């Protein structure tokens, strides 16, 4: 029987090596995009889709994430006294949500991070959001995936077409197109070389999974990059049940990478009413300067 998606897992225990030294003692997930940390975008995205329980996988040096989503009595009182109602509302809205934190003792890979949430998820289907993949807040990717899950009663993973030059950074699928944006997956490979990639359809950081993936994850051994890979578990699950891919055509930023992070900041600042006008003027100034220097 189809069940409602009430729980979401946010793996945030990775080492963030692409962002060193910034991530040596502070979490990558707390790097700000304009005025919110990356992970808040993912939390708000899930909350907008009716998720009720937010399970964050943390690790060493990740305490700031828990503090960010906790209530902050002194700060809230001070905002109240200063009459800063809007800010107060924005700050306290987050602590109304139900958070659970699970510590992944060592960064053994995304598959292992998700496996750590097994006792909290129990026998329900659930969403997984990687917060360093930022989806434009105007897109409805997760909601579309939840709707597709309801229709097919099968796991759904988000896909995006990427350049072959970048394919070795992703899990990649082979599949049969069954609708405008829907693929029935027939194979998955983690970080293939371009010549071995079965397609240009890369797995991006949004998943709707079913609890039977935990049984497979329990038996997955260390794979690509010496990590327990979620892609390997999905490969195993595919032998037992259909898995679908949903091709996302909107805007995604790979904010775990410096260039993707900078692009996210520019685009989201241009959408932010508090800074957009001023920032646009500044960008025009910069662009003019660059043009005149080449
Ligand atoms: P990444 O592949 O981006 O790895 O993980 P990373 O460690 O965060 O960053 P780099 O590659 O070293 O720069 C994708 C997501 O999975 C989480 C990360 O926190 C990130 O959200 N993750 C990864 C875990 O929670 N645990 C792990 O063992 C690995």
Ligand 1 atom closest to the CA of 227, numbered from 1? 28
- Between the alpha carbon of residue 117 and those of residues 5, 64, 89, 105, the distances in Å are 15, 20, 30, 13
Q: Is residue 2 part of a domain?
A: no
**What range defines the domain where residue 268 resides?**
7-293
- Among candidate residues 243, 166, 171, the one with its CA nearest the CA of residue 204: 171
pLDDT at 90: 87
Please state the pTM of the whole predicted model. Answer: 0.95
Ligand 1 atom closest to the CA of 107, numbered from 1? 28
Pocket probe mutation, ligand 1, options 24, 39, 110, 230, max atoms within 8 Å of Cβ: 110
Mean pLDDT of 255-277: 95
Give yes or no for residue 1 having a pLDDT over 80. Answer: no
Ligand 1 center to residue 109 CA distance, Å?
A: 7
The residues, ordered by sequence, that sit 6+ positions from 81 with a Cβ below 8 Å of its Cβ are: none
Q: Is residue 125 part of a domain?
A: yes
Give yes or no for residue 122 having a pLDDT over 80. Answer: yes
Residue nearest to atom 8 of ligand 1 (CA): 14
Residue nearest to atom 3 of ligand 1 (CA): 256
What percent of the chain clears pLDDT 70, i.e. is strictly above it? 99
pLDDT in tens, 200-253: 999 999 999 999 999 999 999 888 888 999 999 999 999 999 999 999 999 999
- Compute φ and ψ for 191, nearest 5 degrees: 45, 60
Q: Is residue 39 part of a domain?
A: yes
Residues constituting the chain: 294
Number of domains in the chain: 1
CB 110 within 8 A of CB 217: no
Largest CA distance in the chain: 63
Q: Is residue 196 part of a domain?
A: yes
- Between the alpha carbon of residue 151 and those of residues 35, 50, 65, 182, 250, the distances in Å are 37, 17, 34, 12, 22
The residue assigned the tokens 């091709």 is 247
pLDDT at 288: 94
pLDDT at 2: 61
Lining ligand 1 with CB less than 6 A are 11-18, 28, 57, 104, 107-110, 112-113, 130-132, 256
pLDDT at 73: 87
pLDDT in tens, 24-78: 999 999 999 999 999 999 999 999 999 999 999 999 889 999 999 988 888 999 9
Rounded Cα gap, residues 30 and 268, in angstroms:
16
- Among candidate residues 125, 95, 92, the one with its CA nearest the CA of residue 208: 125
Ligand 1 center to residue 15 CA distance, Å?
A: 6
Q: Is residue 231 part of a domain?
A: yes
Q: Is residue 118 part of a domain?
A: yes
Give yes or no for residue 190 having a pLDDT over 80. Answer: yes
Ligand 1 atom closest to the CA of 20, numbered from 1? 13
Q: Is residue 33 part of a domain?
A: yes
The residue assigned the tokens 């662009």 is 287
**Rounded (10°) angle between helices 141-152 and 38-48:** 40
Rounded Cα gap, residues 217 and 227, in angstroms:
12
The residues, ordered by sequence, that sit 6+ positions from 231 with a Cβ below 8 Å of its Cβ are: 111, 171, 188, 189, 190, 203, 223, 224
Pocket probe mutation, ligand 1, options 14, 131, 134, 135, max atoms within 8 Å of Cβ: 14
Which CATH number covers residue 25? 3.90.550.10
Identify the H or E element spanning 184: strand 182-190
Rounded Cα gap, residues 209 and 192, in angstroms:
23
Q: Is residue 241 part of a domain?
A: yes
Ligand 1 center to residue 178 CA distance, Å?
A: 31
Average pLDDT, the chain: 94
pLDDT band at 94 (very low <50, low <70, confident <90, very high): confident
């Amino acid at each position: 029987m189809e069940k409602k998606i009430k729980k979401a897992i946010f793996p945030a225990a990775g080492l963030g090596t692409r962002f060193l030294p910034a991530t040596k003692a502070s979490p990558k997930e707390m790097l700000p995009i304009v005025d919110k940390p990356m992970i808040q975008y993912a939390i708000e995205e899930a909350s907008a889709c009716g998720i009720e329980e937010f399970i964050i996988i943390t690790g060493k040096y990740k305490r700031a994430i828990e503090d960010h989503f906790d209530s902050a009595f002194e700060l809230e009182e001070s905002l109240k006294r200063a009459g800063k109602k809007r800010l107060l509302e924005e700050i306290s809205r987050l602590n109304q949500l139900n958070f659970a934190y699970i510590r992944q003792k060592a960064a053994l890979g995304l598959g292992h991070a998700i496996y750590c949430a097994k006792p909290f998820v129990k026998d329900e289907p659930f969403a997984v959001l990687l917060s360093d993949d930022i989806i434009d807040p105007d897109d409805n990717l997760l909601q579309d995936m939840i709707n597709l899950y309801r229709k097919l009663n099968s796991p759904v993973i988000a896909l995006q077409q990427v350049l072959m030059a970048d394919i070795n950074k992703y899990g990649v699928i082979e599949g049969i197109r069954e609708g405008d944006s829907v693929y029935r997956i027939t194979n998955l490979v983690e970080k293939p070389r371009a010549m071995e990639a079965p397609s240009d359809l890369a797995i991006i950081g949004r998943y709707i999974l079913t609890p039977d993936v935990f049984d497979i994850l329990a038996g997955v051994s260390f794979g690509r990059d010496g990590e327990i890979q979620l892609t390997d578990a999905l490969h195993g699950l595919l032998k037992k049940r259909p898995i679908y891919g949903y091709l996302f055509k909107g805007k995604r930023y790979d904010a775990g990478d410096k260039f993707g992070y900078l692009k996210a900041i520019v685009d989201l600042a241009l959408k932010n009413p508090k800074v957009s006008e001023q920032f646009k003027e500044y960008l025009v100034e910069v662009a003019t300067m660059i043009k005149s220097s080449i």
